[in-house]
Amino acid sequence: MTFNDCNSSSTLTDGNRIYFNFTRQPVKWIYCNYPERLQSDALGDSTLGNHFLNQVQVNGDYQLYASYMNQTGYDIKFGVQLYNSGSSSVTVTRYNNAHRTSPPFDYCDVEGGIWADFFNSSGTTSYTVAPYSVVWIFEEDVPVGGYFNSLVRFHTSGNLWCFPYVYTNSSNIDGTATCYPWNTASQVYRGHGDSYFISGWKTLNISNMPYKYFTSTCGSGNTNEMTEIHDYCSGINHSCSSGANLGNWGMQYLFNITVNNDTGAARTIKAYIGAASAAHAYVAVNYNNTTKWCCRDGNTWWNWLTDTIPKDTSRFLFNKSRASLRPRKKSIRIVVSRRKPLCVKNFPPPVLSFFP
């Protein structure tokens, strides 16, 4: 089996459509993407915007995903503050975390490379949050004009409030900030979801290839796929039924696929991933503790996996894995981040295909 580097293949012919009934892992998600293009009024400094970007009450395991463009006119920092509104101390443990911004990285390396950094990060950091106090568990620099992604996974032993901020100096945040006002016309979101990690299972016969399946859209036809985003600040629940522009951007997919060679001869199969039209698909794949990423549009595809399967043999290509601090050996995780063009409703879904 060969896990291929990023490459470019021509648009592929259609295949037999398959669907997944996904299983959700009980690991909660903090989603930060509104306002996507940050202006100076989004800053947390009390003399500038005096706003935080999101507000989520946390208790247990969480993963925060943030994606923004810095158009504030300042060099800024992105930080995650936790506030203890209770009368007892709470312990926080931070696990995997990562941050990338352009410059120095380009869009593709921000969207894809951050996942390599995240999965490869190691070690833990512990914090104690005293009653009616705050701690900062994450802080990174973002240059003026920079596009950035941030990832943080953490656990709390009790109830805390999570406030993601952008600011010029954390000493300018004085506790009087309010949530950035919601724009009802927005097609990007903030809030929290019930899971950032979903998994699906399929057995594919080579005699029936090619196969094709769609992900990351309300119209994919898959069951139990899309994560709704609940915004505490506005009280709005962004869901497929509400017509929200959901895309599961920054979520992790685990595909467990058995390929059965029923053709009577050894066959080489290839797996591809790309976007359904000219929109861009920024995709990161983690296999056997190695992460590779590729940026493709609807006219080109990434042949990311090649394998030769002997006759009369079934091969379990993708092994089962639970959400853990580090990917387990031989697990396949796929993260789809479709960013260009920004803020476009009804993005075409990424498409994954298997061809003999």
pLDDT means over runs of 10, the chain (356 residues) = 86 79 93 97 98 98 96 98 98 97 90 90 96 98 96 97 98 97 95 94 89 86 95 96 90 88 90 72 81 79 88 66 28 50 35 58
Q: Which domain holds residue 51?
A: 28-190
Torsion sign across C-alpha atoms 235, 241, 244, 246: positive
The token duo for 278 is: 């000219």
Please tell me the total count of domains within the chain. 2
Assess whether 280 and 138 both reside in one domain: no
Q: How far is CA 225 from CA 10, 129, 240, in A?
A: 28, 35, 11
- The dihedrals phi and psi of 106, each to the nearest 5 degrees, come to -90, 180
Assess whether 341 and 219 both reside in one domain: yes
Domain stop point among 134, 155, 190: 190
Assess whether 136 and 269 both reside in one domain: no
pLDDT of residue 198: 92
Omega into 341 within 30° of 0, i.e. cis?
yes
pLDDT of residue 346: 31
pLDDT of residue 140: 98
Rounded distance between C-alpha atoms, residue 241 and residue 38, angstroms: 28
Assess whether 62 and 185 both reside in one domain: yes
Domain stop point among 190, 215, 236: 190
